[in-house]
Amino acid sequence: VSSEVDETVNSITYDSAGALRLFGNRPAEHIKVITVSGDSMSGTIETGDYIFVDVSKDYFEGDGIYVFSFKGAVLVKRLQFTADGLLVHSDNSKYADWTIGESHEQYLKIIGRVIYSHSVKRFV
C-alpha cells in the first residue's frame, strides 16, 4: 500500500487451508491489511474492521469495493462502471453517490481491490 495508508497490523496468521479459502492463490506480497475508519461503508464494513486489499489490482477491473485516493483523500468505496464514468457508492445510505467522470480521472488512483474483511468487535 502506498505511503498514503498506514498499516497498523503487523501480521495475521492463517493456516494453509484457511489462507487458500480466503485469498486463493494470490501471492502474500499482494495482500495488505488496512484498518477502516469512518462509517460510509457501514452495513458492509464497519469502522475498526480490517480489510484485506489486493494491491496488485491497482486498476478498475470491474464493479466491487476498492481502496483509492481521489484528490488526496484515501477512500474505501464501492465502484461501479456507468455510461457517465465510475459511480462511487457508500453502502451507508447517509452518504450520496457521486461520479468520477472523464474530466476528473486524473485525480483517481486505485490502490487496490478489497477481497475480504475481518470484523473486530470489542466486548471489554
Model confidence at 6: pLDDT above 80: no
Q: Can you give 61-108 as a three-state secondary structure string? A: CCCEEEEEEECCEEEEEEEEEECCEEEEECCCCCCCCEEECHHHHHHE
* Domain range enclosing 85: 16-118
CA atoms within 13 A on the CB side of 84: 6
- Answer whether residue 6 is part of any domain: no
Model confidence at 40: pLDDT above 90: yes
- Of residues 121 and 46, more confidence is placed in 46
The tally of domains found in the chain comes to 1
- Would you say how long the chain is, in residues? 124
Torsion angle defined by CA atoms of residues 39, 20, 60 and 29, in that order, rounded to the nearest 10 degrees: 90
What CATH number is given to the structural domain containing 68? Answer: 2.10.109.10
Model confidence at 10: pLDDT above 80: no
- Answer whether residue 123 is part of any domain: no
Model confidence at 1: pLDDT above 70: no
- Answer whether residue 91 is part of any domain: yes
- Answer whether residue 59 is part of any domain: yes
- Answer whether residue 124 is part of any domain: no
